[in-house]
Structure 1
């Protein structure tokens, strides 16, 4: 487990490469889709955190909202726009819908939302170690689920950004935002789009120094408080709080600024955060 090519971002903590042993588990072939999440909400009456807050983050080229609903852009990441009324049913804003996106991954779901769905489905979120093992598809040390080359024989196997980010996407892979959950060939384990398309929540709390102290057997990530972390792993994510691991990259990843569509790449966000490029998939114990 970890970055065998030494090409990750130091602050992400992809090193050291270390051995992990896992119990058997079964993983969903795809990220949870809009159709599946709609069934969950219909059965339970669940309301996501984005719906409760009334605002979520949308990529600037995908906003579908009245000007009054476009609240602000962040100075550090101006391609993200806070849009009133953006949520899983309206991924681009109030004027958008999922009518034609039933087989696309659900987005605008927080870690808390994803955990609620998993509980309803009799499943759970994967641990970070389980996610990486599954994403590798039986290829130890490979950069991507199919090998080391991004586009073997000139073929795109994933949905990421092509062109000049964030102003122009050449759409070489066919998609500006999400692609259908089965749009590309699966890896050798039969799992679709383990990299690209949407980030996927993992169960673990995030710490950039965790790999230095992680256990070997079925690691679950660091504990909930700094007192439970080794002095070798002091970082955690900036700002403190309940930061959770995200894996796989998304349709916005580009090697010029976010080379995180590799199987070893790591990132994080707070458990109550939701964006237009963040989803999840489920696992079940055997």
Structure 2
């Protein structure tokens, strides 16, 4: 894991478009890979494809794997690629088995603002274009190894340009229309009315992330959606990834 120094940033939604504070935290250097997830299934049989309940994962769960609890014939091509087609329930269980947790939306967005040289590259046109270019490309048949992905200034790989990632509160930007008048809710409605509460209506790439998250249900599995784990900075890390 690597340490992400605490700071403030203005999220696309929430807090009346004011900066929010993000305490320092630890985040996995890479998204979880197929080989790591294979080892998790070996020790946690209830999450195998044949055992998992539909409540916790839909029919697309690990559909790119040939085996029930192993990658199978594509192992050499996929072992170091990020695992995808996993639900929020399973991602959460994986992280908890490591003594970790999924990152929050604010933690993920804060860490993802970093370029190779800047902690906050939100106003960098080149950095913004990199995200835009990735969103416009079709998914490759085989995702590249996590070690070959973009590395930002924190030492995190693949925050941009590899896969979408689950967060613990992925649906925190979604409410029903009837609830918008409820002042106790600091959330917005997607998609049509979503832009009305955005802090930067020109930030299309951030809007895409929030809109994508709001479309998910916890048992959904998606071919380009993976995850990585986080920890509070106060928790001692005894091993690195």
Task: State the TM-score, normalized to the length of structure 1.
Answer: 0.56
Gaps of 5+ in 2: 1-9, 193-203, 234-241
| Structure 1 residue 274 displacement after superposition | 0.7
In the alignment, which residue of structure 1 is the partner of 2:197? Answer: none
Over the aligned positions, Cα root-mean-square deviation in angstroms equals 4.1
Q: Is the 8 A contact 2:151 2:158 kept in 1?
A: yes
Assess, with a 3 A threshold, how the Cα gap between structure 1 residues 136 and 42 changes in structure 2: closer, same or farther.
same
In the alignment, which residue of structure 2 is the partner of 1:148? Answer: 128
Q: Decide which of 202, 213, 223 is 2:167's aligned counterpart.
A: 202
**Cα distance in 1, alignment partners of residues 170 and 93 from structure 2:** 17
Q: Is 1:270 matched up with 2:217? A: yes
Q: Is 1:139 matched up with 2:115? A: no
Q: Is the 8 A contact 2:163 2:225 kept in 1?
A: yes
In the alignment, which residue of structure 2 is the partner of 1:281? Answer: 228
Secondary structure in structure 1 of the residue aligned to 2:23? coil
| Greater RCO structure (CA 8 Å; 6+ sep) | 2
In the alignment, which residue of structure 2 is the partner of 1:230? Answer: 184
Assess, with a 3 A threshold, how the Cα gap between structure 1 residues 125 and 50 changes in structure 2: closer, same or farther.
farther
Correspondence list, 1:17-32, <5 A: 17-32=17-32
| Structure 1 residue 285 displacement after superposition | 1.1
Higher helix share: 2
Gaps of 5+ in 1: 4-12, 58-84, 152-156, 163-168, 211-224, 239-258
Task: State the TM-score, normalized to the length of structure 2.
Answer: 0.65
| Structure 1 residue 230 displacement after superposition | 2.8
Q: Is the 8 A contact 2:102 2:228 kept in 1?
A: yes
Q: Is the 8 A contact 2:78 2:142 kept in 1?
A: no
**Cα distance in 2, alignment partners of residues 234 and 187 from structure 1:** 30
Q: Is the 8 A contact 1:109 1:275 kept in 2?
A: yes
Higher strand share: 1
Q: Is 1:112 matched up with 2:89? A: yes
